[in-house]
Amino acid sequence: MTVPAEPVDLAARPSRARYGVVAILVALAMITYLDRACIGTLAPWISRDLGLSKDQMGWVFSVFALAYAAFEIPTAAWADRRGTRLVLTRIVVWWSTFTIATAAAVGHASLLAIRFLFGVGEAGAWPTAARSFSRWIPTRERGTVQGIFFAGAHLAGGLTPPLVLFLLDYLTWRMIFVVFGLFGFVWAAVWYAWFRDEPEQHRQVNAAELAQIVAGRQAAAGHRVGWAYWRRLFGNRNIQALCLMYLPNSFAFYFCLTWLPTYLKERHGFEAAALGLLAGLPSILSVASDLLGGLATDWSTTRFGPRVGRCGVGGAAYLLAGAGMLLAATGPHPLVAAVSIALATAASMFTLGAAWGVCLDVGGQHAGVVSAAMNTSGQIGSVLSPLIVAFCLKHWANWDLPLYLMGGLFLLGAVAWCFVNPRRPVFD
């Protein structure tokens, strides 16, 4: 006699709506880097058409990061108060508008104004995404999810240079900005229609998945923001160490997004296909590094605790990044220099799961602002990076000095990791 199978209680199986959140935010990360990275590849054509010098182009690169840094924390604080569904929709619509508007630039002044407003609009995008993860992703999965998020961004960043060079055979640089800007409007419509600020508000989240998400998570609460709040934030030792640690990460990666194609062409003489491949190599290698770094920080945190899992992973990777940049400055062969920069950048990206995981660990319900504080420091590095490169070229005609500087900054960042304590919340 056949024994009938017991009925399966489908309600007891956790739903997987949180993976939809991860997927749509990874798409956001990819569009972000598509729009950011294209200007670095198009810089020679933009400079030629608009008659811009290297100094002027350096300011075009930096003014975006300056605006981004200035509006990062206020936007993240708004997301902490109002929720990320509305705020992230506004961010993406704004930055997509000014991606398209870049095509209308007629000179240095107009390009500066457009890129500044681009930065104002995009500011807060990644801390707001981190805030979404803090409400939707269980603690044990956060490093891995952050690694996947950054892998999507860097995959897009790596594919953008060869894609842009391919499109230039068919489109002007102005039309490329128009095409790339349209993707953001599609994303914003999907996000606003599907996402909800809290998982319990989403009809696709069942009780079993909700229990997994909220285990150990701080409850949402109102925010009273005043001088005492900001003093506590910026006076916190964790915040200070995180900010010092994160500056070299963005400094180096923004060099790859902006000046690396020109460096490879002028310093080492790479052309055409090799230039496109090597300009995108830091981002391509960073895809694997992001994923492995996210997995490594979650595994080692579970096994050895957060000091080893977050700070140990981050500090060790920064030591490798510093060594790679110094090798690039002293390497005897152009290919050695190009590959060393890519490997050093990938090593720094290995730390992203740990860095943003710490922000979620110590930020709690203030994860958006805590992430924004760290990322603002990174944007200061992004502001300085193009300007310092342009300064070195103008006064010393030396491409290697910025590489020595980046190597030293990574070594300093490794020391800063020693002062981060993932067990100490910024706000109780």
Whether pLDDT at 5 is above 60? no
Residue 139: predicted pLDDT: 82
Q: Which has the higher per-residue pLDDT, 159 or 408?
A: 408
Tokens of 374: 């760290």
pTM of the model: 0.81
In angstroms, the CA 54 to CA 63 distance is 14
Tokens 């490794």 sit at which residue? Answer: 414
pLDDT of res. 57:
87
Contact present, 128 and 84 (Cβ < 8 Å): yes
How far is residue 348's CA from residue 25's CA, in Å, rounded to a whole number? 22
Supply angle C-alpha 361, 367, 370, rounded to 5.
95
Q: Do 50 and 107 form a contact (C-beta atoms < 8 A)? A: yes
Position with higher pLDDT, 428 vs 354: 354
Is a pLDDT exceeding 80 seen at residue 169?
yes
The pLDDT of residue 216 is 63
As a whole number of angstroms, the distance between CA 175 and CA 192 comes to 27
Least confident of 33-37, 181-185, 223-227, 395-399: 223-227
Judge: domain 17-214+231-417, CATH 1.20.1250.20.
yes
Confidence at 217, pLDDT banded by 50, 70, 90: low
Which of 13-27, 137-151, 208-222, 393-407 has the lowest average pLDDT? 208-222
Q: State the pLDDT confidence band at 160, using cuts at 50, 70 and 90.
A: confident
Average pLDDT of the residues in 149-174: 89
Reply yes or no on whether the pLDDT at 149 is more than 80: yes
Residue 196 and residue 100: Cα distance in Å, rounded? Answer: 28
Domain residue limits, the chain: 17-214+231-417
Lowest mean pLDDT among 233-237, 359-363, 406-410: 359-363
Q: How confident is the model at residue 222 (pLDDT cuts 50, 70, 90)?
A: low
Asked whether the predicted pLDDT for residue 348 surpasses 50, the reply is: yes
* 259-292 pLDDT per residue, tens: 898 899 889 888 867 887 888 899 889 899 999 9
**Cα distances (angstroms) measured from residue 414 to each of 242, 322, 407:** 11, 9, 11
Confidence of residue 218 (pLDDT cuts 50, 70, 90): low
How far apart (Å, rounded) are the C-alpha atoms in residues 1 and 19? 42
At 9-45, the pLDDT tens digits run 445 688 889 999 999 999 999 998 887 778 888 888 9
Distance in angstroms (rounded) separating the CA atoms of residues 419 and 321: 19
CA distances (Å), 37 to each of 42, 100, 190, 287, in order? Answer: 9, 14, 24, 15
DSSP assignment of 223-290 equals: ---SHHHHHHHHH-HHHHHHHHHHHHHHHHHHHHHHTHHHHHHHHH---HHHHHHHHHHHHHHHHHHH
Average pLDDT for 169-198: 95
Chain-centre distance for alpha carbon 78: 19
Listed range (53-67, 302-316, 342-356) with the worst mean pLDDT: 53-67
Q: With 60 as the cut, is the pLDDT of residue 136 above it?
A: yes
pLDDT bracket for residue 94 (50, 70, 90): very high
Decide if 247 contacts 374 (C-beta within 8 A).
no
What gap in Å lies between CA 422 and CA 419, rounded to an integer?
10
Q: What percent of the chain is predicted at pLDDT more than 70? A: 94
The yes-or-no verdict on residue 369 having pLDDT over 80 is yes
Residue with tokens 């599609």: 186
Q: Is the pLDDT of residue 4 over 60?
A: no
pLDDT, tens digit, for every residue of 297-343?
999 999 999 999 999 999 999 999 999 999 999 987 999 999 999 99
Tokens of 352: 């992203």
- What is the pLDDT at residue 239? 96
Q: At what angle do helices 125-136 and 17-50 cross, to 10 degrees?
A: 170
Helices (H), 102-124: 108-122
